[in-house]
Amino acid sequence: MIHIDVTKRLLSADGAIILRVKLDIERHDFFTFFGKSGSGKTTTLRMLAGLTHPDDGEIVVDGSVWYSKEKRINVTPQHRTIGFVFQDYALFPAMSVRKNLEYASNKNQKRVEELIDIMQLRALEHSRPHQLSGGQRQRVALARALIRSPKILLLDEPLSALDSEMRTSLQNEINQIHSSFGLTSIIVTHDIAEIFTMSNKMVLFDNGTVSKSDSPDMLLGNKLSSKFRTVGKVVSIAKSDIAVVVTVQSGINLIRVVVDPEESVTLQPGQNVILAVKAFAPSIIVLNKC
Protein backbone atom coordinates (compact mmCIF):
# COMPACT_ATOMS: atom_id res chain seq x y z
CA MET A 1 0.00 0.00 0.00
CA ILE A 2 1.15 3.53 -0.78
CA HIS A 3 0.67 6.13 1.93
CA ILE A 4 1.33 9.73 0.91
CA ASP A 5 1.01 12.59 3.37
CA VAL A 6 3.06 15.51 2.05
CA THR A 7 3.01 19.27 1.54
CA LYS A 8 4.79 21.21 -1.16
CA ARG A 9 4.79 24.89 -2.09
CA LEU A 10 3.93 25.30 -5.77
CA LEU A 11 3.96 28.22 -8.17
CA SER A 12 0.84 28.05 -10.32
CA ALA A 13 -0.75 30.47 -12.79
CA ASP A 14 -2.84 31.89 -9.91
CA GLY A 15 0.24 32.49 -7.73
CA ALA A 16 1.81 30.39 -5.00
CA ILE A 17 -0.27 27.57 -3.56
CA ILE A 18 0.45 25.02 -0.88
CA LEU A 19 -0.18 21.54 -2.19
CA ARG A 20 -1.40 19.18 0.53
CA VAL A 21 -1.77 15.57 -0.48
CA LYS A 22 -3.03 12.91 1.87
CA LEU A 23 -3.77 9.68 0.08
CA ASP A 24 -3.80 5.95 0.62
CA ILE A 25 -3.53 3.84 -2.50
CA GLU A 26 -4.26 0.14 -2.19
CA ARG A 27 -2.17 -2.53 -3.87
CA HIS A 28 -3.32 -3.31 -7.45
CA ASP A 29 -5.35 -0.09 -7.68
CA PHE A 30 -5.34 1.74 -11.00
CA PHE A 31 -5.45 5.26 -9.70
CA THR A 32 -6.03 8.53 -11.59
CA PHE A 33 -4.80 11.99 -10.60
CA PHE A 34 -7.24 14.40 -12.23
CA GLY A 35 -7.43 18.19 -12.16
CA LYS A 36 -6.52 21.31 -14.08
CA SER A 37 -2.98 22.28 -15.08
CA GLY A 38 -0.74 23.46 -12.26
CA SER A 39 -2.85 21.80 -9.57
CA GLY A 40 -0.01 19.51 -8.45
CA LYS A 41 -0.82 16.17 -10.14
CA THR A 42 2.54 15.72 -11.85
CA THR A 43 4.38 17.13 -8.82
CA THR A 44 2.76 14.47 -6.62
CA LEU A 45 3.75 11.76 -9.11
CA ARG A 46 7.31 13.12 -9.16
CA MET A 47 7.44 13.23 -5.35
CA LEU A 48 6.50 9.57 -5.32
CA ALA A 49 9.29 8.80 -7.80
CA GLY A 50 11.83 10.84 -5.80
CA LEU A 51 12.35 13.37 -8.63
CA THR A 52 10.88 16.26 -6.61
CA HIS A 53 11.37 16.73 -2.87
CA PRO A 54 8.33 17.44 -0.69
CA ASP A 55 8.64 20.32 1.81
CA ASP A 56 7.25 18.21 4.62
CA GLY A 57 5.50 14.95 5.45
CA GLU A 58 6.12 11.32 4.62
CA ILE A 59 5.76 8.72 1.90
CA VAL A 60 5.54 5.09 2.99
CA VAL A 61 5.29 2.23 0.50
CA ASP A 62 4.56 -1.30 1.72
CA GLY A 63 5.87 -0.44 5.18
CA SER A 64 9.18 1.04 4.02
CA VAL A 65 9.71 4.78 4.39
CA TRP A 66 10.67 6.43 1.09
CA TYR A 67 10.50 9.96 2.43
CA SER A 68 10.21 11.38 5.90
CA LYS A 69 11.08 14.94 6.82
CA GLU A 70 10.99 14.06 10.50
CA LYS A 71 13.28 11.02 10.21
CA ARG A 72 15.41 12.73 7.53
CA ILE A 73 14.89 9.89 5.08
CA ASN A 74 14.81 10.49 1.35
CA VAL A 75 15.31 7.36 -0.73
CA THR A 76 16.88 8.24 -4.11
CA PRO A 77 14.91 7.56 -7.34
CA GLN A 78 17.38 4.76 -8.12
CA HIS A 79 16.28 2.85 -5.02
CA ARG A 80 12.51 3.29 -5.33
CA THR A 81 10.92 0.32 -7.06
CA ILE A 82 8.92 2.29 -9.60
CA GLY A 83 8.53 2.46 -13.35
CA PHE A 84 8.01 5.98 -14.67
CA VAL A 85 6.56 6.78 -18.09
CA PHE A 86 7.20 10.39 -19.05
CA GLN A 87 4.89 12.60 -21.09
CA ASP A 88 7.63 13.19 -23.70
CA TYR A 89 8.62 9.46 -23.62
CA ALA A 90 12.24 10.35 -22.59
CA LEU A 91 13.71 7.69 -24.84
CA PHE A 92 17.49 7.97 -25.13
CA PRO A 93 18.07 9.38 -28.63
CA ALA A 94 21.53 7.89 -29.17
CA MET A 95 20.34 4.34 -28.46
CA SER A 96 18.22 1.95 -30.51
CA VAL A 97 14.99 0.52 -29.09
CA ARG A 98 16.87 -2.60 -27.97
CA LYS A 99 19.71 -0.56 -26.43
CA ASN A 100 17.16 1.56 -24.53
CA LEU A 101 15.80 -1.61 -22.97
CA GLU A 102 19.21 -3.20 -22.41
CA TYR A 103 20.47 -0.06 -20.67
CA ALA A 104 17.66 -0.41 -18.14
CA SER A 105 17.89 -4.17 -17.78
CA ASN A 106 21.20 -4.63 -15.92
CA LYS A 107 22.23 -7.29 -18.44
CA ASN A 108 19.04 -9.34 -17.92
CA GLN A 109 18.71 -10.35 -21.59
CA LYS A 110 15.81 -12.71 -20.89
CA ARG A 111 13.73 -9.83 -19.56
CA VAL A 112 14.63 -7.68 -22.59
CA GLU A 113 13.46 -10.41 -25.00
CA GLU A 114 10.30 -10.96 -22.95
CA LEU A 115 9.31 -7.28 -23.07
CA ILE A 116 10.22 -6.92 -26.75
CA ASP A 117 7.73 -9.75 -27.42
CA ILE A 118 5.02 -8.52 -25.03
CA MET A 119 5.12 -4.97 -26.40
CA GLN A 120 5.50 -6.20 -30.01
CA LEU A 121 8.73 -4.34 -30.63
CA ARG A 122 10.58 -7.10 -32.52
CA ALA A 123 10.36 -5.33 -35.89
CA LEU A 124 11.49 -2.04 -34.36
CA GLU A 125 14.28 -3.26 -32.08
CA HIS A 126 17.11 -1.74 -34.16
CA SER A 127 15.34 1.58 -34.88
CA ARG A 128 16.27 4.81 -33.16
CA PRO A 129 13.56 6.72 -31.24
CA HIS A 130 13.31 9.49 -33.88
CA GLN A 131 12.34 6.86 -36.47
CA LEU A 132 9.28 5.77 -34.48
CA SER A 133 5.71 7.07 -34.40
CA GLY A 134 4.26 8.50 -31.18
CA GLY A 135 2.44 5.27 -30.33
CA GLN A 136 5.54 3.16 -30.97
CA ARG A 137 7.65 5.45 -28.80
CA GLN A 138 5.15 5.16 -25.99
CA ARG A 139 5.23 1.35 -26.22
CA VAL A 140 9.03 1.44 -25.96
CA ALA A 141 8.82 3.84 -22.99
CA LEU A 142 6.35 1.49 -21.33
CA ALA A 143 8.55 -1.56 -21.98
CA ARG A 144 11.58 0.27 -20.58
CA ALA A 145 9.69 1.33 -17.45
CA LEU A 146 8.66 -2.28 -16.83
CA ILE A 147 12.05 -3.88 -17.39
CA ARG A 148 13.14 -3.76 -13.76
CA SER A 149 9.86 -5.44 -12.71
CA PRO A 150 8.59 -2.49 -10.65
CA LYS A 151 5.66 -2.93 -8.28
CA ILE A 152 4.41 0.60 -9.01
CA LEU A 153 3.88 2.12 -12.45
CA LEU A 154 3.66 5.92 -12.68
CA LEU A 155 2.28 7.37 -15.92
CA ASP A 156 2.51 11.12 -16.50
CA GLU A 157 -0.03 11.94 -19.23
CA PRO A 158 1.39 9.12 -21.34
CA LEU A 159 -1.20 9.25 -24.13
CA SER A 160 -1.83 13.00 -24.43
CA ALA A 161 0.07 13.41 -27.71
CA LEU A 162 -1.59 10.50 -29.53
CA ASP A 163 -4.61 10.34 -31.84
CA SER A 164 -7.79 8.81 -30.48
CA GLU A 165 -7.41 5.43 -32.22
CA MET A 166 -3.84 4.92 -30.96
CA ARG A 167 -4.93 6.20 -27.56
CA THR A 168 -7.69 3.60 -27.26
CA SER A 169 -5.40 0.78 -28.32
CA LEU A 170 -2.68 1.81 -25.84
CA GLN A 171 -5.25 2.23 -23.06
CA ASN A 172 -6.16 -1.41 -23.56
CA GLU A 173 -2.51 -2.48 -23.62
CA ILE A 174 -1.75 -0.58 -20.41
CA ASN A 175 -4.83 -2.10 -18.76
CA GLN A 176 -3.69 -5.60 -19.71
CA ILE A 177 -0.16 -4.95 -18.44
CA HIS A 178 -1.52 -3.53 -15.19
CA SER A 179 -3.48 -6.73 -14.54
CA SER A 180 -1.02 -9.31 -15.83
CA PHE A 181 2.02 -7.79 -14.09
CA GLY A 182 0.07 -7.28 -10.84
CA LEU A 183 0.97 -3.59 -10.75
CA THR A 184 -0.24 -0.68 -8.70
CA SER A 185 -0.57 2.08 -11.29
CA ILE A 186 -1.08 5.82 -11.07
CA ILE A 187 -1.89 7.87 -14.15
CA VAL A 188 -2.06 11.63 -14.56
CA THR A 189 -4.59 12.54 -17.23
CA HIS A 190 -6.84 15.33 -18.47
CA ASP A 191 -8.99 12.96 -20.46
CA ILE A 192 -12.23 11.97 -18.77
CA ALA A 193 -12.74 9.01 -21.12
CA GLU A 194 -9.34 7.69 -20.10
CA ILE A 195 -10.30 7.76 -16.43
CA PHE A 196 -13.36 5.60 -16.97
CA THR A 197 -11.55 3.19 -19.31
CA MET A 198 -8.50 2.70 -17.16
CA SER A 199 -8.85 3.40 -13.48
CA ASN A 200 -10.89 2.05 -10.59
CA LYS A 201 -10.04 4.90 -8.23
CA MET A 202 -9.36 8.58 -8.70
CA VAL A 203 -8.73 11.78 -6.85
CA LEU A 204 -9.42 15.41 -7.79
CA PHE A 205 -6.68 18.03 -7.48
CA ASP A 206 -8.11 21.50 -7.07
CA ASN A 207 -5.89 24.49 -6.20
CA GLY A 208 -3.71 22.56 -3.84
CA THR A 209 -6.43 20.70 -2.05
CA VAL A 210 -6.75 17.05 -2.78
CA SER A 211 -10.19 15.75 -2.01
CA LYS A 212 -11.11 12.25 -0.92
CA SER A 213 -10.40 9.48 -3.38
CA ASP A 214 -13.21 7.41 -4.79
CA SER A 215 -14.29 5.53 -7.90
CA PRO A 216 -14.65 7.61 -11.12
CA ASP A 217 -18.40 6.83 -11.09
CA MET A 218 -18.85 8.34 -7.64
CA LEU A 219 -16.69 11.40 -8.30
CA LEU A 220 -17.56 12.22 -11.91
CA GLY A 221 -20.66 10.22 -12.74
CA ASN A 222 -23.08 11.64 -10.14
CA LYS A 223 -23.90 8.12 -9.00
CA LEU A 224 -25.59 7.13 -12.26
CA SER A 225 -27.25 3.76 -12.39
CA SER A 226 -27.42 3.50 -16.17
CA LYS A 227 -26.74 0.30 -17.94
CA PHE A 228 -24.88 1.83 -20.89
CA ARG A 229 -22.55 4.72 -20.61
CA THR A 230 -19.92 6.34 -22.77
CA VAL A 231 -17.82 9.43 -22.47
CA GLY A 232 -17.51 11.87 -25.34
CA LYS A 233 -17.42 15.40 -26.60
CA VAL A 234 -20.34 17.50 -27.85
CA VAL A 235 -19.76 18.15 -31.55
CA SER A 236 -22.94 20.00 -32.54
CA ILE A 237 -26.35 21.03 -31.19
CA ALA A 238 -29.16 21.30 -33.78
CA LYS A 239 -32.41 22.85 -32.56
CA SER A 240 -35.86 22.08 -34.04
CA ASP A 241 -39.34 23.04 -32.87
CA ILE A 242 -39.90 20.36 -30.27
CA ALA A 243 -36.54 18.75 -29.66
CA VAL A 244 -32.82 19.31 -29.91
CA VAL A 245 -30.47 16.89 -31.67
CA VAL A 246 -27.08 16.70 -30.01
CA THR A 247 -24.16 14.97 -31.75
CA VAL A 248 -21.58 13.50 -29.42
CA GLN A 249 -18.22 12.10 -30.51
CA SER A 250 -17.10 9.08 -28.55
CA GLY A 251 -13.81 7.65 -29.79
CA ILE A 252 -14.26 7.37 -33.56
CA ASN A 253 -18.07 7.10 -33.33
CA LEU A 254 -20.53 9.95 -33.79
CA ILE A 255 -23.71 9.43 -31.76
CA ARG A 256 -26.87 11.49 -32.34
CA VAL A 257 -29.29 11.82 -29.45
CA VAL A 258 -32.54 13.71 -29.01
CA VAL A 259 -32.52 15.94 -25.96
CA ASP A 260 -35.19 18.00 -24.23
CA PRO A 261 -34.74 21.69 -25.25
CA GLU A 262 -34.61 22.71 -21.59
CA GLU A 263 -31.88 20.18 -20.88
CA SER A 264 -29.88 21.29 -23.92
CA VAL A 265 -29.45 24.82 -22.54
CA THR A 266 -26.54 23.66 -20.41
CA LEU A 267 -24.76 22.02 -23.35
CA GLN A 268 -22.11 23.64 -25.54
CA PRO A 269 -20.04 22.23 -28.42
CA GLY A 270 -16.63 21.07 -27.17
CA GLN A 271 -17.93 20.07 -23.73
CA ASN A 272 -16.91 16.69 -22.30
CA VAL A 273 -20.04 14.75 -21.41
CA ILE A 274 -21.14 11.38 -20.16
CA LEU A 275 -23.82 9.86 -22.38
CA ALA A 276 -25.95 7.44 -20.39
CA VAL A 277 -28.68 5.28 -21.90
CA LYS A 278 -31.04 3.09 -19.98
CA ALA A 279 -31.68 0.15 -22.28
CA PHE A 280 -34.16 -2.47 -21.20
CA ALA A 281 -34.01 -4.70 -24.25
CA PRO A 282 -30.62 -4.25 -25.93
CA SER A 283 -29.64 -6.15 -29.07
CA ILE A 284 -26.52 -8.19 -28.48
CA ILE A 285 -24.73 -9.23 -31.66
CA VAL A 286 -21.82 -11.62 -31.48
CA LEU A 287 -18.91 -10.64 -33.68
CA ASN A 288 -17.16 -13.51 -35.44
CA LYS A 289 -13.41 -13.63 -34.99
CA CYS A 290 -11.67 -12.99 -38.29
Count, residues in the chain: 290
Selection from 185, 88, 178, 176 nearest residue 137 by Cα: 88
State how far the alpha carbon of 223 is from the alpha carbons of 31, 215, 218, 219, 268, in Å.
19, 10, 5, 8, 23
Q: For residue 84, state whether it binds another protein (rule: CB under 8 A).
A: yes
Q: For residue 133, state whether it binds another protein (rule: CB under 8 A).
A: no
Q: For residue 149, state whether it binds another protein (rule: CB under 8 A).
A: no
Q: For residue 144, state whether it binds another protein (rule: CB under 8 A).
A: yes
Task: Collapse the DSSP code of 209 into the 3-class scheme (helix H, G, I; strand E, B; otherwise coil) and give the result.
Answer: strand
H/E element, 77: none
Site for another protein (CB under 8 A): which residue of 3, 5, 51, 245? 51
Q: For residue 236, state whether it binds another protein (rule: CB under 8 A).
A: no
- Contacts of residue 279, Cβ cutoff 8 Å, sequence gap at least 6: 227, 228
| Residues 88 to 107 in contact with another protein, rule: CB under 8 A | 88, 90, 92-95, 103-104, 106
Q: For residue 15, state whether it binds another protein (rule: CB under 8 A).
A: no
Interatomic CA distance for residues 28 and 183, integer angstroms: 5
Q: For residue 161, state whether it binds another protein (rule: CB under 8 A).
A: no
State in angstroms the smallest separation of the CB of 285 from another protein: 42
Q: For residue 86, state whether it binds another protein (rule: CB under 8 A).
A: yes
Interface residue list for another protein (CB under 8 A): 49-51, 76-80, 82-84, 86-88, 90, 92-95, 103-104, 106, 130-131, 144-145, 147-148
